[in-house]
Structures are given as C-alpha cells and as structure tokens.
Amino acid sequence: MEMVRNMKQTWILAMLFSLVVPALWAKGDMVLIEVKSATMPTLIRITDPKIQDFTPWAGPGVNGGRVPNAEGFIVDWHAGIVSQQAAQPAPGLQHYEISFYEGCRTRNDWCTEKEPRLVYVVSYDYDPASPRGFVYLPGRRDPLYYLNMGTISRWVEGNWFLASNSWEQFIRPVIAKAINPRASLADGKQACLVTAAPDPPFVPPAPFRADSSSGEFLYGTQELWAVVQRHWQIHGFTGSKLPYFHQGYDWTKANNPRLTVVARRLDGPEPLVWAGPAHGAGATDGATKVSFMTTGLDIPAAGCWEIAAHYTPLDGNSQTLTYTVWVEP
C-alpha cells in the first residue's frame, strides 16, 4: 500500500514538473512593448533592446520575492501597495495600457518563437506635472487577469503601485514624442550639438581647394576630411553623396577604399545606419587632378545623428572622423 502511495505521489510530481518546466523554458526575450491610449493618435510599438530591463518575469513571484522586498519590472515594489483612492484615474492623470510581448531576438535551440507573443498587460496612469505615475495589476474581475496569471502570479493582483523611476525615465519621453512629435523634435533640435563650421575655416593640403558652397563646409584633419552638408533631410539627397578626402589617396590605385561610414541616432532608439560601399572618384580643377572617396547614407528618421567615418589607407595609420547633424523630417 505504501508503495502504491509513493508511486502516485511520484506520478503527480512528474505531471507538475512537465507542466511547469516547459513554461519556464518558454520564456524568451522581451521583444516588444505596446502603449495605447484614447489620447494618442497611434499605437506606440517599442522594440529598443532596453525593454529587456522591464521584463515581467521579475519582481514578486520570482525566486520567492514578495512586496515590499522584490526588485524589477516597472513597479517600485518597495513603496508597497498604493491606496485605491490615491491612484484611481482623476483629472490630470493620463491613462495608458501597456502590453508586453516575448519572443526571440536571436533564434536558437532555446528560443524558437516566430512571432512575438503577448504575455502581460498592465495599466499605467500618470500626471505629466508629477514625477511619479501609477501601475495597476489587473485583478480577478479584470479580463486580462488570467492572461497575466498564465505568465506569473505575484499574489498582489488587483492593486495599484508606484511606477519605478527607471520606467518613468524610459517611457515618458516616448509618450511625449508620440503625443506631440513636432514639439519633441523642436526640443531635440535645441539640445542637439550640431557640428559647426570651423572658425577659422579648415584648409586642406595642396592641391585640394579650400573653398566650398554656402550649403556646406570642409571639416576634419590633414589626414581625413569631409564635405559636411549644413541641411539634412530624411531620405534626402543630402546624405546620398558623402565625399571624403585623404592626402595621398589615388582612386586609380584603390578604387574600393577601406572607408566605413555609419550613422547613429543620439536622441532616440533607432538602428545604426550603415553607408554603402565606398568608391573612388577623380576630378579635374584646371590642370590639377585630385582623387577622393565617396559613399552615401539614407537617414530614415528625423533627429540628432552622429556620422562616423573610419578609413584605413594602403600605407599609413587608420583615421577616424566624426561629426553631428540635425536631420529634418
């Protein structure tokens, strides 16, 4: 009889293990956060790798964590539960639904999902004039309760909490930009440290000319310099032709120069934009022939962008040249 009882217990534990372990293994990367609200014209979709910092598989319910001693997710667990009256939507509070999706940033044996999967949803309310917002975990009577409980049980569902400082610093600029993109761009343009024309002007070595048109200027060093356009626009002609110069470069000997150019957005989450392969070119100024390198960039979004070039000549030390531009919509 004792043997039968032990076999039944073993079978039950095996069944529980088979149910729990796949769920644990199913946890992929946090690949998407969606933000929606009646006050916003469009849905916000955030794929910045930084969203991994806000995975729902953190906080109460993980490794025995409980309020107020847990860490992680988008909640300040140390502050405890906020009274219902203090956090109920009220004049001045803006209401948002935040949805968290897991998936695979890199396909491997442990992560095989083809499409992002919705795993957790909360409410986020805040007053733009206040530094702290509120997060609500759907309770038993809320439609999203069972979705969340299928992902993680925190034992504090149905309550409001203060949002964490890291979440506030991450999400508020994103929401502000979505609500008023023009105002956000104006603020960003004012803060962007655009590279200015050198004073006095940069003078390249002979036989290169030192003058430039009104819409551009020369910038760099005697080893690597460029023609910098003053006015950039997304998907515009400005970045399609980027000439670079190096004293001693001869396009007839190195028509495929080892020049790499990449653009990095400084004021928002955008992927790096790599220029196409560089090519050599030549020009004649009277009786003088000069060689230069050319490539192009297609900037996809307005904002503050850093343009960085790295060049390795056939004989000599590698050179780097970086400047910052503001790209108009």
pLDDT over 70 (residue 317) = yes
Count of Cβ atoms closer than 10 Å to residue 108 Cβ: 8
CATH number at residue 247: 2.60.40.10
155 and 42, same structural domain? yes
pLDDT of residue 110: 59
249 and 139, same structural domain? no
CA 300 vs. chain centroid, Å, equals 14
Mean pLDDT over residues 128-137, rounded? 90
Q: What is the pTM of this model?
A: 0.53
- 171-185, 188-202, 292-306: the lowest-pLDDT one: 171-185
pLDDT of residue 237: 67
236 and 282, same structural domain? yes
What gap in Å lies between CA 108 and CA 46, rounded to an integer?
23
pLDDT digits (tens, 9 = 90+) for 144-169: 999 999 999 999 999 999 999 999 99
273-274, strands of its sheet edge to edge = 232-233, 319-328, 303-312, 258-265, 273-274
169 and 30, same structural domain? yes
What mean pLDDT, rounded, does the chain reach?
Answer: 84
pLDDT over 90 (residue 191) = no
261 and 130, same structural domain? no
94-103, strands of its sheet edge to edge = 44-46, 29-36, 94-103, 117-126, 134-136, 160-162, 81-82
pLDDT digits (tens, 9 = 90+) for 227-267: 999 889 888 766 678 999 999 999 999 999 999 999 998 88
In a domain, 12, yes or no: no
In a domain, 13, yes or no: no
pLDDT of residue 22: 37
pLDDT of residue 85: 44
Residues 6 or more apart whose CB falls under 8 angstroms from that of 308 comprise 261, 262, 263, 264, 320, 321, 322
273: containing domain: 216-328
pLDDT of residue 3: 44
How many domains, the chain? 2
62-94 residues labelled b (16+ CB within 10 A) or e (exposed): beeeebeebebbbbbbeeebbeeeebeeeeeeb
Q: How confident is the model at residue 19 (pLDDT cuts 50, 70, 90)?
A: very low
Helix axes 181-191, 165-179, angle to 10 degrees: 110
Residues 6 or more apart whose CB falls under 8 angstroms from that of 157 comprise 137, 138, 139, 140, 145, 148, 149
pLDDT over 90 (residue 41) = no
Cβ 306 vs Cβ 297: under 8 Å: no
244 and 175, same structural domain? no
More confident residue, 68 or 99: 99
Q: Find the distance separating the first CA and the last CA of the chain, reported in whole Å.
A: 78
pLDDT over 50 (residue 13) = no
Count of Cβ atoms closer than 10 Å to residue 290 Cβ: 18
